[in-house]
A and B are shown apart, each in its own frame.
Chain A
Amino acid sequence: MPTTAPAAHALGDVTASDSTLRRFLHGLPGVDTVGLEARAASLGTRSIKTTAKAYAIDLAISMVDLTTLEGADTPGKVRALGAKAVHPDPTDRTTPTAAAVCVYPDMVATAKEAVAGSGVKVASVATAFPAGRAALDVKLADVRDAVAAGADEVDMVIDRGAFLAGNYMKVYDEIVAVKETCGTSARLKVIFETGELSTYDNIRRASWLGMLAGADFIKTSTGKVAVNATPANTLLMLEAVRDFRAQTGVQVGVKPAGGIRTSKDAIKFLVLVNETAGEDWLDNHWFRFGASSLLNDLLMQRQKLATGRYSGPDYVTVD
């Protein structure tokens, strides 16, 4: 179901003004809801077994952004999370490391210390996460803090209020400003909070808006609302990044977050990636899972494949 967006030469000036941006976003083809959900469901029925499963589990582990975003986060908890990201399964050192740990800006320095020298990145949410209801200055200061503390990646939230009110230019300008603040040292992930955008058409528009503004990653959700990442909305975003690269040559990553708890779910998402965006995205530079409990299930499945016996929650850490 490729999206036939307007010709590539048009992309240069779609952001020239509010009205051209609106015309472009509203000119994107509507989403066939039934078709999208059916396609996502049918790709979820693939049977992935034995060696393919082992590959998928290791790949999924290497894609996990191990996340803790609680008011009750302590330096000790962040250090424990960092240790887990570096050695997800201490009893089996062949286990790949997680992609990153994802924390609040004030915990970045602690996290950075905990994963030093391991290649595990530190991602920080910013811009008044999770609501994004703050003045731009406050949001940018939030981002500067995170980057100054050494964050390798910044997860920003868009202003859903402005987006839903049709004020696309405001959302665009904010993303551009945050991108500038990140500079070259941090990759920018843009969170749309798809559960609050209410329609698939809006998710498609938000995806294009984010990519036009320079996002390095587009991310489904904060994990703080009822509806988080679903196969359907992730499929839609994967189509968007595929079409965006086809038109502009720029590759953008995708990160579903929240609600992915089992290996089975994670593998379904990997099938979506492979079948929609293609193999180029099957790498933790371009695809991530925002999750915390998922890693334990992946580790239990990995132990099962290695030993032939089912593992249990007694053999992984309690987060």
Chain B
Amino acid sequence: MSDRLNVLKTYKLYVGGKFPRSESGRVYEVTTATSAAGAAGKGKWLANAPLASRKDARDAVVAARKAFGPWSGATAYNRGQILYRVAEMLEGRKEQFVREVAEAEGLSKSKAAVQVDAAIDRWVWYAGWTDKIAQVVGGGNPVAGPFFNLSTPEPTGVVVVLAPQESSFLGLVSVVAPVIATGNTAIVVTSEKSPLPALSLGEVLATSDLPGGVVNVLSGRTAEIATPLAAHQDVNAIDLAGADDVLAKELEIAAADNLKRVLRPQPVDYAETPGIERMTAFLETKTVWHPTGSLGASGSSY
């Protein structure tokens, strides 16, 4: 039997629904986790991942801004369907993700499979929330006057998400899904050491009816990409989950310039049921007043 040559995969960024290489042309080596079980698996080369530059970040913001109108304007029901479709597509490529997570985090196949299953279930969970979150955090308000007063949650806009450094897939899904479920668009900066599951997620999103630009995936040095994004005037919020204390402080200062919403890093067990905090963190409440009164002959008071 002749040995077949390996078909190596070129991992690329995911920006605006396309798969570009980094504008800078740079890549960096991704290796297996150094804590990987078995001496042979330690620090083995896996792939070259793109090393995104600040121009890639800028392009991602443009793509995310362009996608924001249609995505936030889509019905919550439609967004739910699309997110569920993402879960379906993930299910079909489970094997690949199990392998990538096992290599990235140094887990056994079975432990990695638990992570991937949990991540797929989380997509389904957030898919269900899209048309329910408004009932939980919005609603009619009792007011002392002939008015009908209504509060609705509105998406914040373009959200930068620094994905968790350690949990390369479950953690990633747990921070990305809530942001887009509510109608925001996201720029995801992957885990620096283990970007491969995130880059593969981009391929899944591209085939899941998710409009291009709703999620943009950048791999590289977190500090290098996050700094211009935190200062970017056209970004509305930033989730610092993947930043260490020093970087988080710097980014929060930069983000203050145009009053971005900032979600500070906090210890999270991604295996737990997440609750709705990550969704409400990037929602704004809009309250409107409608005059009411005795209905006219036409059945309307207007």
Contact = CB atoms under 8 A, between A and B. Distances in A.
Interface of A: 308-315
The 7 tightest CB contacts between A and B, nearest first, are A312-B234, A309-B231, A312-B233, A310-B232, A311-B233, A310-B58, A315-B233
Most buried by B among A309, A310, A313, A315: A310
A103 B54 CA distance: 39
A310 B234 contact: yes
A311 B231 contact: no
Main secondary structure, interface of A, reads loop
A156 B179 CA distance: 52
Contacts of B65: 312-313
Contact of A314 (B231, B234, B257): B234
B262 interface: no
A313 B66 CA distance: 11
Interface residues of B, number: 11
Contacts of B231: 308-310
A309 B234 contact: no
A313 to B, nearest CB: 7
A310 B233 CA distance: 6
B159 interface: no
A311 B234 contact: yes
22 contacts: A308-B231, A309-B228, A309-B231, A309-B233, A309-B254, A309-B257, A310-B61, A310-B228, A310-B231, A310-B232, A310-B233, A310-B234, A311-B233, A311-B234, A312-B65, A312-B233, A312-B234, A312-B235, A313-B65, A313-B234, A314-B234, A315-B233
Interface of B: 58, 61, 65, 228, 231-235, 254, 257
Contacts of B233: 309-312, 314-315
Contacts of B257: 309
A287 B228 CA distance: 34
A312 B234 CA distance: 5
Contacts, number: 27
Contacts of A314: 233-234
A253 B228 CA distance: 40
A315 B61 CA distance: 15
Contacts of B234: 310-314
B65 to A, nearest CB: 8
A123 B253 CA distance: 46
Contacts of B228: 309-310
A311 B257 CA distance: 12
A311 B231 CA distance: 9
A315 B233 CA distance: 8
A309 to B, nearest CB: 4
Nearest to A310: B232
Nearest to A313: B234
A311 to B, nearest CB: 5
A314 B233 CA distance: 8
B158 to A, nearest CB: 9
Contacts of B235: 312
A310 B62 CA distance: 11
Contacts of B254: 309
A273 B228 CA distance: 33
Contacts of A313: 65, 234
A310 B64 CA distance: 15
A311 B232 CA distance: 6
A156 B283 CA distance: 52
A87 B234 CA distance: 22
Given A308-B231, A309-B228, A314-B233, 12 more contacts: A309-B231, A309-B232, A309-B257, A310-B61, A310-B232, A310-B233, A311-B234, A312-B61, A312-B233, A312-B235, A314-B234, A315-B233
Contacts of B61: 310, 312
Contacts of A315: 233
A315 B65 CA distance: 14
A315 B234 CA distance: 9
A310 B257 CA distance: 12
B57 to A, nearest CB: 8
A130 B232 CA distance: 40
